[in-house]
Structure 1
């Protein structure tokens, strides 16, 4: 029994180590044209200049619970608040990319649920930014990144709404309301910058 536990811990450490290296390689690229623009201005201008990372394993895959466990361990072991915000943004971006793939495949319920989980990670990042801002630190880079991410999510979601069934659309509206709330919170943070 002890040998089995030891093997499980060693395997988890190996998976975690490889995953952390790969996560650092899969960075979110944010281009400069959107800096300082509001979400609505970016959407009106056309495609939002924000690239979502490769999502990796998708929800529904038999190994996905291990990925979630790894993500929680990495988050738990990340003590620097700035790094934790970046991690939350990465997790949100990966969830949104996964939601897009799932919705395009026709897995509507799982896709919408995954998209809403992306919003939960964004909410956590925004809360951390607000806490840091209260302490007087500069949070403009993180807030701008989240603002562009929210704009990209809305653009992605808007393109997917047309492709889903009528049954799924009300749940997708919940997403729109949450994205609007995120935008308002981010604007308040940026106004004080």
Structure 2
């Protein structure tokens, strides 16, 4: 009986120790993927080349005019800015480079408007939530990523425009850090 118990204990110990020794001795390859921003852009909806796009523009303008709370208005501007970035990406995929660049410009303009709204909120005694500041940073980083992707796809004639947009993006980043 004793021999059987010793045999099973030895067998069990070997069964446990051999695979762990094998796993320790193997080398592992670690692949690091390029860093991408984890920030989802909204669906762009109707693009500027659609005949009913003017209705979307009117709706967006009405939303901006009727939104009175500065924090909500800043969030709305961020959302519209993100939509414009997504729109420019979609337009570039359709081969409409000039309209894509126009959407990029509009996106950066909307993003810059956020800071005047934040100043208004602070003047009224409202605090800007720290989560919103973090969202602004993530969005700005995503915008820079998308603009850099677009830079690789545009023609030589439009590269200075993209570089100007990247400079504006950096200015916006500096404003976010001041906030």
Query: Under TM normalisation by the shorter chain, which class is it?
Result: 0.7 to 0.9
The structure with the larger Rg is 2
**What SS does structure 2 have at the residue aligned with 1:109?**
helix
Alpha-carbon separation, structure 2, partners of 1:54 and 1:67: 13
1:141 is matched with 131
Look up the match of 2:148: 158
| SS at 2:153 equivalent | coil
Q: Tell me, which stretches of 5 or more residues in structure 2 are unaligned? A: 1-33
- In the aligned structure 1, how far is the partner of 2:93 from the partner of 2:131? 32
Task: Check if 1:125 corresponds to 2:111.
Answer: no
Q: Which of 148, 165, 177 is residue 175 of structure 1 equivalent to? A: 165
Counterpart in the other structure of 2:14: none
Query: How far 1:152 moved relative to its partner?
Result: 0.1
- Superposed, which structure 2 residues align to 1:22-33 within 5 Å? none
Are the counterparts in 2 of residues 104 and 160 from structure 1 also a CA contact under 8 Å?
no
After the TM superposition, which parts of structure 1 deviate over 4 Å for at least 4 consecutive aligned residues? none
CA displacement at 1:134 relative to structure 2: 4.9
CA positional deviation for 1:148:
1.0
Rounded Cα–Cα distance in structure 2 between residues aligned with 1:136 and 1:151: 29
User: Residue in 1 aligned with 2:36?
Assistant: 47
Tell me the residue number matched to 1:112: 101
The corresponding residue for 1:84 is: 73
Q: Which runs of 5+ in 1 are unaligned?
A: 1-44
Among 81, 85, 88, which residue is 1:96 paired with? 85
Secondary structure of residue in 1 paired with 2:163: helix
1:185 equivalent in structure 2: 175
Aligned length: 145
Shift in Å, 1:82: 1.4
Output the TM-score relative to the length of structure 2: 0.76
Over 3 Å counting, the alpha-carbon distance change for 1:162 and 1:63 in structure 2 is: same
1:126–1:143 CA contact under 8 A, matched in 2: no
Cα distance between partner residues in 1 of 2:97 and 2:140:
21
How far off is 1:180 after superposition? 0.5
CA RMSD of aligned residues (A): 1.5
Match of 1:6 in 2: none
